[in-house]
Structure 1
Amino acid sequence: MRHAETVTFGGSSLDRAGEMRLDQAALEAARTAGDTRAVLFWRGKPLIEAGEAAALARLPMDHPVLAQTSSEQILLGREDGAYRFACELTDWVPDDLDETALGAFLDPTEQRHPLLAKSTAFMELRRVMTWLSPRDAELAATGKAILGWHETHKFCARCGAPSDIAQAGWQRRCTACNGAHFPRTDPVVIMLVTRGNSVLLGRSPGWPEGMYSLLAGFVEPGETLEAAVRREVFEETQVKVGPVRYLASQPWPFPASLMFGCAGEAISEEITVDPVEIEDALWVSREEMMTVFAGDHPVIRPARKGAIAHFLLENWLADRLD
């Protein structure tokens, strides 16, 4: 696909400095270098510098707020030769916190820390992802995903003992059996299934009213991407898919997926929805989809901007899939 790496969270070519992760002396020097900066998170929400153009905030490593972060500083990589670390703010709860909004499909709330500039706020990444530059988006997605993994993998999966951070945050090692554990990424297929001039859309319960997107599902062990596409589409709609080809991928840190965008040609048309899997599915013509994207459709709302589903549909409409 010609524009594959222009998808949100892709295409910034971040130097991840993998050769540094085992070099403790170099890591300590990097943490104290004058141009090193911290990318700060609170409950998975990155710190954003608001303004005419929103940007991911980068704090000097001696900023007072970093005293309230966990000891697990994650090396994200080098940016123009300068090191970037992800840090998680732990010892702070805002006075006006709305717990019900956190992690919701739409979280418009912003949290401001008293030690930080008033122009900065912690914002939900799904809300701001299309506001950020490719580099900011990659740093934010990487930091959110790796910090989330550490939060849920503090104990060894082999023996249950506590594990410690290693390799600058890119490994955990068991204190008892010495087992090594690496960040988890779950493969997911998301399918642009077409038949003639129409594309297959579905919606899940709990989505905003009228929102439809491409079908998607997790890849199972021992399964190819092509087989996963055919299985997931058939399970959810009973539509059979023939030829399948890969289009583009997108890291999706909510919490730890890698989305594989694929094109599939349907060889059947009748839809029978599995209500356990999805709420509804339908065929939408190219002309009708253009109305959806223009915001003029009376019923259907498009997939979220920034998600690979929106990206694939947009390129399908523009005839840019090859």
Structure 2
Amino acid sequence: MTDSQPQPAPHLALTVAAHDRLGEHRKDQAWLDARWAEPASRALVVSGTRVRPVGRELPWMPTDQAPDGVRVLLGERGGTTWWAVIVGPEVAASEEGEWYPLRGLLPALAGDGVEQAPLVFHALGLAEWHWATRHCPRCGGPLEPRAAGHELRCSACGRTQFPRTDPAVIMIVASGEPGSPEERCLLGRSPQWPAGRFSTLAGFCEPGESLEDTVRREVAEETGVQVGEVTYFGNQPWPLPASLMLGFLARATTTEIRIDEVEIDDARWFTRAEMLAQAESGELVLPGGVSISRSLIEHWHGGALPGAW
């Protein structure tokens, strides 16, 4: 394992152009109306949880051309106020062109489009929450948007709902003397993936559980490998639909693999030489460059690797 994280780590590209979320203005209707009316303001239309790109670009439009819907204040960047307008899923069903969920938009967020990623993650994360949160969990009453789309208030009992983010751990598990040719890392694959595709292990934190214990539990449940030391690496917003991926470096205390055959249908140990050779040949297909999984793998390997899915 190298002593320092490669810079820049691939997953950081998706958060490098963060916007000012202007949270202090979300309940100031006069301020919101004034910013909405500014000629420079731009809006992204989200139908249900989907967006319709134009080619490989996202269609940010002047706000005076946006349809009626739930106005969501995203924030300000570069002197522009950015918004999302959430309309019903029937819009996507009735209009021509392909409408995509966030995962389908990732190609449009590569290269020159990466600066839009924080805005799009913000917009689609809130749209997913609005889609999934229809009724008050206390009384079942109808919910009305407040605070520029960042709160939902029950019109019956008055209870306020806030957007949720589910913490999930993602980890590179290593065994052997750090940095030695014999050191290995553990990767697994889902039964639904094409042949050759492997990635780091991951899983959701349970109530009352520390993040470090989540790492240990998930690795043991999925592969039977026991983990001791767990060190924080970094994080990545991943609103697919509502996750925050928390990355960790883990040291294995056992190496025998016993896969669960439910979430994982194969798991293997790779030395650095094996990983490089198989990635070059195409036998091993690794996660895409914008994912924290890729960053974890390349951090352990000590440099960039070929190929991606």
TM-score where L is the length of structure 1: 0.83
Whole-Å separation in 1 of the counterparts to 2:135 and 2:54: 35
- Of 273, 286, 293, which aligns to 1:302? 286
Shift of 1:317: 2.0
- Of 179, 201, 205, which aligns to 1:219? 205
Shift of 1:49: 4.6
Task: Determine which structure has the larger helix proportion and give its number.
Answer: 2
- Of 76, 84, 101, which aligns to 1:78? 76
Question: CA 1:32 to 1:5, structure 2 compared with 1: closer, same or farther past 3 Å?
Answer: farther
Say whether the 8 Å CA contact 1:49–1:55 is kept in structure 2: yes
Whole-Å separation in 1 of the counterparts to 2:59 and 2:286: 30
Q: Between the two proteins, what is the percent identity of the paired residues?
A: 38
Say whether the 8 Å CA contact 1:192–1:263 is kept in structure 2: yes
Whole-Å separation in 1 of the counterparts to 2:157 and 2:25: 25
Paired letter, 1:21: R
SS class of match (1:248): strand
Shift of 1:13: 2.6
Whole-Å separation in 2 of the counterparts to 1:251 and 1:218: 14
Show CA shifts across 1:102-128 (max 9, x none). xxxxxxxx459xxxxxxxxx9822343
Paired letter, 1:311: S
Shift of 1:4: 5.6
Mapped pair 1:249 → 2:254: no
Mapped pair 1:30 → 2:14: no
TM-score where L is the length of structure 2: 0.86
Match of 1:102 in 2: none
Shift of 1:58: 1.6
- Of 60, 63, 70, which aligns to 1:61? 63
The aligned runs of 1:170-209 (5 Å cut-off) are 170-196=150-176, 197-209=183-195
Q: RMSD over aligned Cα, in angstroms?
A: 2.4
Whole-Å separation in 2 of the counterparts to 1:154 and 1:215: 33
Match of 1:229 in 2: 215
Question: CA 1:95 to 1:21, structure 2 compared with 1: closer, same or farther past 3 Å?
Answer: closer
- Of 121, 125, 128, which aligns to 1:148? 128
Paired letter, 2:81: Y
SS class of match (2:141): coil
Whole-Å separation in 2 of the counterparts to 1:279 and 1:6: 26
Show CA shifts across 1:192-223 (max 9, x none). 11113211111112122221100000001111
Whole-Å separation in 1 of the counterparts to 2:110 and 2:77: 20
The aligned runs of 1:2-13 (5 Å cut-off) are 3=8, 7-13=12-18
Mapped pair 1:44 → 2:54: no
Match of 1:138 in 2: 118
Match of 2:104 in 1: 124
Match of 2:307 in 1: none
How many residues were matched structurally? 290
Whole-Å separation in 2 of the counterparts to 1:185 and 1:255: 9
Select between 285-294 and 264-273 the one with higher mean Cα deviation.
285-294
Match of 1:290 in 2: 276
Whole-Å separation in 1 of the counterparts to 2:105 and 2:92: 19
Shift of 1:60: 0.3
Whole-Å separation in 1 of the counterparts to 2:82 and 2:25: 12
Question: CA 1:227 to 1:4, structure 2 compared with 1: closer, same or farther past 3 Å?
Answer: farther
Select between 75-84 and 213-222 the one with higher mean Cα deviation.
75-84
Whole-Å separation in 2 of the counterparts to 1:17 and 1:248: 25
Match of 1:101 in 2: none
Show CA shifts across 1:22-52 (max 9, x none). 11110111111111100223453434354xx
Say whether the 8 Å CA contact 1:5–1:11 is kept in structure 2: no
Say whether the 8 Å CA contact 1:154–1:164 is kept in structure 2: no
Select between 73-82 and 309-318 the one with higher mean Cα deviation.
309-318
Paired letter, 2:298: E
Question: CA 1:257 to 1:183, structure 2 compared with 1: closer, same or farther past 3 Å?
Answer: same
Paired letter, 2:296: L
Match of 2:180 in 1: none
Shift of 1:262: 0.4
Whole-Å separation in 1 of the counterparts to 2:22 and 2:119: 13
Paired letter, 1:83: T
